[in-house]
Amino acid sequence: AVAAALIVLTHALNNGVGLTPAMGYNTWNDFRCSGITADHVKMVADKFIELNLPSFGYDYVNIDDCWATSRGSDGRLVPDPTNFPNGMKAVADYVHSKGLKFGIYTDRGTSTCDGRPASQGYEAIDAETFADWGVDYLKEDSCAASDNHGIAFEQYGLMRDALNKTGRHIYFSLCGWNSWYAPVGWGLGNSWRIAGDCNEWPSIYNAIRTNEGLSQYARPGGWNDPDLLGGSSPQAAVHNTPDQARTQFSLWAVMAAPLLIGSNILNLSAYDLETYTNAEVIAIDQDLLGVQGSVILTNCPPFLPLQADDNVPACQQIWARPLADGSVAMNFLNFDTKPAAITSDADCFRRPG
């Protein structure tokens, strides 16, 4: 693993993007595989403009799994002909016409999580295809793939190099769901998933607790990714309470995490819109110093991963993030379902430096 890490760091991504965490939208937490169509993606792009989201920094409109059906005789990925009748480049062109960026999905294994064609052994031609279509963001998953660290690093390195070779500046998002990507992540991609999917509140707790010890690995160009944002819209496949959705957003900003909305953009509630357009919180996330926040005070128990139906410990934390102007952003986090008093004395305030 040490040798693999040295190789990874020797051949860095260096693609000039991701100097601040990505901001935008991803289809997965919204509607999973149901409704992945060109028309839907265009509607999302239109809604971005209607809601004025680009003015707050949101610019990526990303398709997740379930868009590809096969490979053509030339080896290139073929989008679902029913859902994308004019091909994927036409969709990317429409998104670009709105002043937005277009993202797409693949997998480093033999198939995607939904059993669709994946990129193992096809890294070069897939990278060329994505560049030809005008893709600006690539998420590469880890289903149907080895969990051996060295093999995983090598496979992600193949796609990194293939993307670099295209000459197009494509944000590369690794989706390996494990914290062991963090020490080498910056040499592989612009962000790397450090935990499982954030669906219900216990899985959000898992991502937060996992990210506690990873702040030293985040910096401009590469970020720890605790997963997509889940709003409070019941129309989306993933939704939590309004307070939980807002708590997630606020802490993601202090953690210098990508802000990719997974809520139902087409029916976004006024509450979620207010959450996602809080300019002060967004400024923290996009701070140019690029230092991830860390826990400076906690009464939480030692971390043990929770299952979906487990109870989240009734504990509290204080997170702090140094900012470029010399100030410090602080997040007082209450995991309890009841209100709690969280106290920070002068010594606590000095800890962020």
- How many Cβ atoms are within 10 Å of 18's Cβ, its own excluded? 22
- How many Cβ atoms are within 10 Å of 267's Cβ, its own excluded? 13
Instruction: Identify the DSSP state of 107.
Output: E
Instruction: Identify the DSSP state of 18.
Output: -
Check: CB of residue 133 under 8 Å from CB of residue 105. Answer: no
- What are the DSSP E strand ranges found in 137-182? 137-141, 171-174
Give me the catalytic one of 197, 225, 285, 287.
197
Give me the catalytic one of 30, 64, 141, 287.
141
Check: CB of residue 225 under 8 Å from CB of residue 209. Answer: no
Check: CB of residue 295 under 8 Å from CB of residue 62. Answer: no
Question: Rg for the chain (alpha carbons), in Å?
Answer: 20
Which stretch of DSSP H or E encloses residue 352?
A: none
Write the burial class of residue 347 (CB in 10 Å: 0-12 exposed, 13-18 middle, 19+ buried).
Answer: exposed
DSSP lists the bridge partners of residue 219 as 222
d(CA 233, CA 271): 10
Pairing mode, strands 191-193 and 171-174: parallel
d(CA 335, CA 302): 14
Is 197 marked active-site?
A: yes
Instruction: Identify the DSSP state of 251.
Output: H
DSSP lists the bridge partners of residue 191 as 173, 223
d(CA 35, CA 199): 19
Check: CB of residue 20 under 8 Å from CB of residue 168. Answer: no
Is 74 marked active-site?
A: no
- State the catalytic residues: 141, 197
